[in-house]
Amino acid sequence: MARLVIVSNRVASPRERAAKAGGLAVALREALSQRGGLWFGWSGETQVGAAAKPKIFRSGRVTYALQDLDPDDQRAHYAGYANGTLWPLCHYRLGSLSFRRSDWEGYRRVNEHFARSLLPLLKPDDIVWVHDYHFIPLAAELRKLGFMGRVGYFHHIPWPTPEVFLSLPSHAALVNDLSHYDLVGLQTEHDVRALLTYISSEARGWIAPAGVVGLRERRFRVAAFPIGIDAEAFVQDAAASVGSEEEARLASSLAGRTLAVGVDRLDYSKGLPNKFAAFGELLKHYPEHRSQVTLMQIAPLSRGEVAEYRALRRELEELGGAINGEYAEFDWVPLRYLNRPFPRATLAAIYRMARLGVVTPLRDGMNLVAKEYVAAQDPRDPGVLILSRFAGAADELTGALMVNPYDAEGMADAFNTALTMPIEERRERWRTNMDRVETNTIHRWCERFIADLSHSVEDFGEAVESRL
Ligand code: GDG
């Protein structure tokens, strides 16, 4: 079995316990432990003129290699091109897109630096799996240095349609970079169509069945691999929360009222102002729910170094304050807004107690919270998932109440429908969602991607032969 090499910006430390690390980190670590492998990424440290030489340590069958970055390069790469350019672009936020040549150059320099640091650690038959938009050029840089082994890329965020993608000055270079992978994985079929349309209409590549692509002299595959969660872990955590001290505290704080929950990183793609506005509309148009329902929004801070995120924080404080100011009673606060993270077991307890799971991103690659909420429900008395049609998860979780996050009044109607939904319909919708969550787990996702990456493009159809 070939050795697995994972590349990601942040590397989950082996000391981080499963309860703290996310499902993705745990699943990747398991895949590495099974096959033996290497996890390569940024050390989290900067150093002027950092040499391309990683710090290496081992834990069990996994080797960790952590690379320092020059502070200017790190800023241009992370806050600059990755989160100031690619993140807004892929989330259809052209008004927030900033493009500076110096960021683009820094982004490329970091990828080149990573490739030089990684290359000496690679064996020719390794399978290299690169994660996310921070590293799109990594395969091209590895190829330049002579690495000919298998390299795959998974894009965790949406891939924009060609009209949007063309706004990026470096669009052609970026897709050329992608062509140096053997396999490009996206979250949904919609994303796959968006990229393939660009390739055939703008880049003059050809497309064959099974997502096989020819672009200049390169042959590679583009396919959808919708990411899942560790469903079993959430089922267990949620079941274990029953009768716990935390559950009792939460229940007594609600005093018999209904709970709705949202859990999102504080990010403008997550549609938090839209969610708050919809909740305000619910209280305005459906006064019967006043004093009856509480929305708990957990929103841990993220990317505070990017100005847009600081502005979002201020906006939410204002909106949340206005709702509470208008509707709170001396014994009831409509909106509980928390800016800090909670352990997974606490989240599971909150999900289970919540009659509504409210997931309303303006765009989202997948959205794992939607799946976690479903997994945590009590099968006898499940809550209702309210889900934005613009989350990748909407393709799979068809039992959700689908909403358009730009329509605050429509969302308020959906809140009301969920709050008054009969138990039979809740169970039926939940079963539809849970079947999917249980089948398409994070472990399946890992296995599928690695299995597909282990095959050469030629295995995916004679179509390639006939075009060569
Ligand atoms: C990107 C894409 C795609 C959140 N707060 C706490 C906490 N979380 C955990 C959730 C969930 C994860 O963070 C968030 O995952 P999402 O999928 O919702 O969103 P992104 O962070 O934007 O992730 C996304 C994902 O990559 C995977 O491919 O689905 O579309 O944007 O697991 O539970 N975890 C704990 N405490 C918190 O307070 N423990």
Average pLDDT over every residue of 171-190: 98
162-166 contacts at long range (C-beta below 8 A, 24 or more positions apart):
162/194, 162/197, 162/198, 162/201, 162/202, 164/89, 164/92, 164/94, 165/89, 165/194, 165/198, 166/198, 166/202
pLDDT at 7: 97
238 and 161 together in one domain: no
Is residue 466 a part of any domain in this protein?
no
Q: What is the pLDDT of residue 9?
A: 93
* Residue 437 predicted with pLDDT over 60: yes
Tell me what the pLDDT averaged over the chain comes to: 94
468 within domain boundaries: no
Spell out the SS3 assignment of the chain. Answer: CCCEEEEECCCCCCCCCCCCCCHHHHHHHHHHHHHCEEEEEEEEEECCCCCCCCEEEEECCEEEEEEEECHHHHHHHHHHHHHHHHHHHHCCCHHHCCCCHHHHHHHHHHHHHHHHHHHHHCCCCCEEEEECHHHCCHHHHHHHCCCCCEEEEECCCCCCCHHHHCCCCCHHHHHHHHCCCCEEEECCHHHHHHHHHHHHHCCCCEEEHHHEEEECCEEEEEEECCCCCCHHHHHHHHHHHCCCHHHHHHHHHHCCCEEEEEECCCCHHHCHHHHHHHHHHHHHHCHHHCCCEEEEEECCCCCCCCHHHHHHHHHHHHHHHHHHHHHCECCECCEEEECCCCCHHHHHHHHHHCCEEEECCCCECCCHHHHHHHHCCCCCCCCEEEEECCEHHHHCCCCCEEECCCCHHHHHHHHHHHHCCCHHHHHHHHHHHHHHHHHCCHHHHHHHHHHHHHCCHHHHCHHHHHHC
Residue-wise burial string across 162-198, b where 16 or more C-beta atoms lie within 10 A, e elsewhere: bebbeebebbeebbbbbbbbbbbbbbbeebbebbbeb
Task: Give the mean model confidence (pLDDT) for residues 164-175.
Answer: 97
Whether pLDDT at 215 is above 90: yes
Lowest mean pLDDT across 34-48, 171-185, 311-325, 447-461: 447-461
Q: Kindly report, residue by residue over 62-98, the tens digit of the pLDDT.
A: 999 999 999 999 999 999 999 999 999 999 999 999 9
Average pLDDT over residues 240-268: 94
Same structural domain for residues 139 and 269? no
State yes or no: pLDDT of 460 exceeds 90: no
pLDDT higher than threshold 60 for residue 130 = yes
| 467 occurs within a structural domain | no
Give the number of the atom of ligand 1 that is nearest the alpha carbon of residue 270.
22
Closest Cα to atom 13 of ligand 1: 22
Answer yes or no: is 342 within a domain.
yes
Position 18 scores a pLDDT of: 53
Do 173 and 57 fall within a single domain? yes
CB 196 within 8 A of CB 213: yes
Residue 309 has pLDDT above 60, yes or no: yes
| Cβ–ligand 1 contact at 369 (below 6 Å) | yes
Q: Contact, 429 vs 384, CB < 8 A?
A: yes
Asked if residue 256 and residue 124 are part of one domain, the reply reads: no
Q: Do 178 and 315 share a structural domain?
A: no
Q: Note the Cα 155 to chain centre separation in Å.
A: 9
Same domain, 208 and 287: no
Question: Of 156, 171, 180, 289, which residue is the catalytic one?
Answer: 156
Angle at 238 between CA 236 and CA 242, to 5 degrees: 110
Pair (221, 340) in one structural domain:
no
Q: Clarify whether residues 298 and 223 are in a common domain.
A: no
Question: Which residue's CA is the nearest one to ligand 1's atom 15?
Answer: 368
Q: Domain tally for the chain?
A: 2
Q: Is 364 marked active-site?
A: yes
pLDDT-based confidence at residue 20 (cuts at 50, 70, 90): low
Q: Are residues 258 and 364 in the same domain?
A: yes
Residues 284 and 142 in one domain: no
CB atoms within 10 A of CB 446: 22
The per-residue pLDDT for 468 is 44
Distance of CA 305 from the midpoint of ligand 1 (Å): 19
CATH code, 373: 3.40.50.2000
Q: Is residue 217 part of a domain?
A: yes
| 219 and 292, same domain (yes or no) | no
Token look-up 């091109």 returns: 81
pLDDT reported for residue 405: 98
Closest residue by Cα to atom 1, ligand 1, is 156
Q: Catalytic residue among 131, 364, 443, 452, which?
A: 364
Domain-embedded: residue 288 = yes
> 226, 187 in Cβ contact below 8 A?
yes
Counting atoms of ligand 1 from 1, which one is nearest the CA of 343?
A: 39
Whole-number pLDDT of residue 432: 98
For the stretch 319-348, pLDDT in tens is: 999 999 999 999 999 999 999 999 989 999
Tokens 């030089």 correspond to 116
Q: How confident is the model at residue 17 (pLDDT cuts 50, 70, 90)?
A: low
Is residue 25 within 6 Å of ligand 1 at its C-beta?
A: no
Residue 156 annotated as catalytic: yes
Residue-level pLDDT at 26: 79
In a domain, 362, yes or no: yes
* Domain boundaries, position 385: 231-439
**Domain match, 422 and 277 both:** yes
In a domain, 465, yes or no: no
